[in-house]
């Protein structure tokens, strides 16, 4: 079977064009052994384009390209037309259409998508961090975290940690229990990165009773009694005062709302 050659031309790595090209080629009887794909990455000069098109003509290759600079795309189109080399622009039409819809001019800066990838990996790292340092299981996370959450049981520390992690923040959370001394690390960090999650006794009573019922337990356990809850809240107030951190009342407040308060607070502090 005749070998079919594809040239991938990009002003960045060329991964996008490579994946799309392989996906398209897989729809034909040619398998990956009979389709030869050559990648030309970080192409920034017209002289490079001239060499690639000339080589494509010699090898009877087809060119598939992702070039963000409009001038480079036009130059490649002209060169391919002159030598009758088949070419497909994967990125240009999409950039132009999005620009028309947004009424904006594109940046035309190669490699911006890799910056998005960096953010993706940062988010994954933050999510793994939140799991590793959830519920005070390893107090070393308090020193490494961007945000530290403290509160009594059932104040949404874990879901809030995960929500903030999805925004790229490394979050550690610590439960406060009167019978257990808080970790020493809590008093050595900058209090500005620590947030206490306060809640009304009545609301916490309802949440805990519902939790016990879900577990198939009686809702009159000490865990859900008002006297015990008030004891925990008093202890919480004592610790947050010692730490010197902000306290957010999460009573009847969604996780998203609490997260927005924290993020706005952090943003305002950075601006000052």
- CATH number of the domain encompassing residue 122: 3.40.50
Q: Helices 201-214 and 226-243 sit at what angle, rounded to 10 degrees?
A: 120
Domain region containing 86: 4-110
Q: Are residues 86 and 177 in the same domain?
A: no
Average pLDDT, stretch 34-42?
86
- Whose tokens are 């050595």? That residue is 188
Q: For residues 102 and 159, state if they share a domain.
A: no
Read off the pLDDT band of 3 (50, 70, 90): confident
Contact 164, 248 (CB under 8 A): no
Same-domain status, 196 and 232: yes
**H or E stretch covering 269:** helix 255-271
Do 129 and 260 lie in one domain? The reply is yes
What pLDDT is attached to residue 117?
A: 66
For residues 76 and 189, membership in a common domain is answered with: no
* 101 and 23 assigned to the same domain: yes
Q: Which residue has the higher pLDDT, 27 or 202?
A: 202
Model confidence over 210-234: pLDDT tens digits?
999 888 888 778 999 999 999 999 9
Quick one: pLDDT at residue 35?
A: 78
Helical (H) or strand (E) element with 87? strand 87-89
Please tell me the predicted confidence (pLDDT) of residue 169: 96
Selected residue with higher pLDDT from 112 and 154: 154
Q: Assign 257 a pLDDT band (cuts: 50, 70, 90).
A: very high
Residues 137, 156, single domain; the answer is: yes
Give the percent of the chain with pLDDT over 70.
95
Spatial distance between the Cα atoms of 251 and 228, rounded to a whole number of angstroms: 18
- Is the pLDDT confidence value at 116 over 70? no
Report the pLDDT value the prediction gives residue 270, as an integer from 0 to 100: 86
**Reported pTM:** 0.62
**Number of domains making up the chain:** 2
Residue 32 in this model has a pLDDT that exceeds 60:
no
Residue where a domain terminates, one of 80, 110, 140: 110
The per-residue pLDDT for 121 is: 83
Domain shared by 9 and 123, yes or no: no
Whole-angstrom distance, CA of residue 149 vs CA of residue 238: 15
Ranges of H-type helices in 13-111:
15-25, 46-59, 70-83, 92-102
Last residue of one domain, picked from the residues 78, 110, 142:
110
Beta bridge partner(s), residue 14: none
Same-domain pairing of 10 and 135: no
Task: Write the DSSP string, 22-49.
Answer: HHHHTTSS--TTTEEEEEE-S---HHHH
Higher-confidence residue of 126 and 114: namely 126
176 with 89, same domain: the answer is no
pLDDT digits (tens, 9 = 90+) for 149-205: 999 999 999 999 999 999 999 999 999 999 999 999 999 999 999 999 999 999 999
Residue from 8, 29, 5, 31 nearest 20 by CA: 8
Rounded-to-integer distance, Cα 89 and Cα 8, Å: 10
Q: What is the mean pLDDT of residues 247-264?
A: 96
Poorest-pLDDT segment among 13-27, 87-101, 140-154, 162-176: 13-27
- 252 and 166 within one domain: yes
Q: In which band, very low, low, confident or very high, does the pLDDT at 114 lie, cut at 50, 70 and 90? A: low
């Amino acid at each position: 079977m005749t070998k079919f050659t594809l040239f991938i031309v990009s002003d960045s790595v060329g991964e996008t064009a490579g994946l799309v090209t392989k996906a398209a080629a897989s729809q034909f009887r040619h398998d990956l052994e009979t389709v030869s794909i050559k990648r030309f990455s970080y192409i920034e000069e017209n002289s490079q384009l001239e060499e690639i098109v000339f080589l494509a003509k010699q090898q009877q290759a087809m060119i598939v390209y992702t070039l963000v600079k409009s001038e480079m795309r036009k130059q490649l189109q002209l060169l391919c037309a002159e030598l009758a080399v088949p070419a497909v622009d994967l990125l240009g039409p999409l950039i132009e259409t999005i620009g028309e819809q947004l009424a904006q001019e594109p940046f035309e800066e190669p490699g911006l998508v890799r910056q998005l990838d960096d953010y993706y990996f940062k988010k994954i790292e933050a999510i793994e961090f939140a799991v590793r340092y959830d519920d005070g299981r390893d107090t070393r996370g308090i020193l490494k975290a961007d945000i530290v959450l403290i509160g009594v049981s059932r104040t949404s520390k874990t879901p809030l940690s995960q929500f903030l992690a999805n925004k790229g923040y490394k979050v550690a959370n610590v439960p406060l229990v009167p019978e257990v001394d808080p970790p020493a690390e809590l008093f050595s960090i900058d209090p500005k990165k620590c947030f206490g999650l306060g809640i009304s006794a009545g609301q916490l009573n309802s949440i805990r009773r519902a939790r016990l019922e879900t577990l198939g337990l009686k809702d009159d356990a000490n865990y859900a009694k008002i006297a015990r809850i008030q004891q925990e809240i008093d202890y919480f107030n004592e610790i947050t005062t010692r730490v010197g951190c902000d306290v957010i009342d999460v009573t009847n407040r969604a996780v998203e709302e609490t997260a927005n308060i924290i993020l706005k607070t952090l943003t305002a502090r950075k601006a000052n």
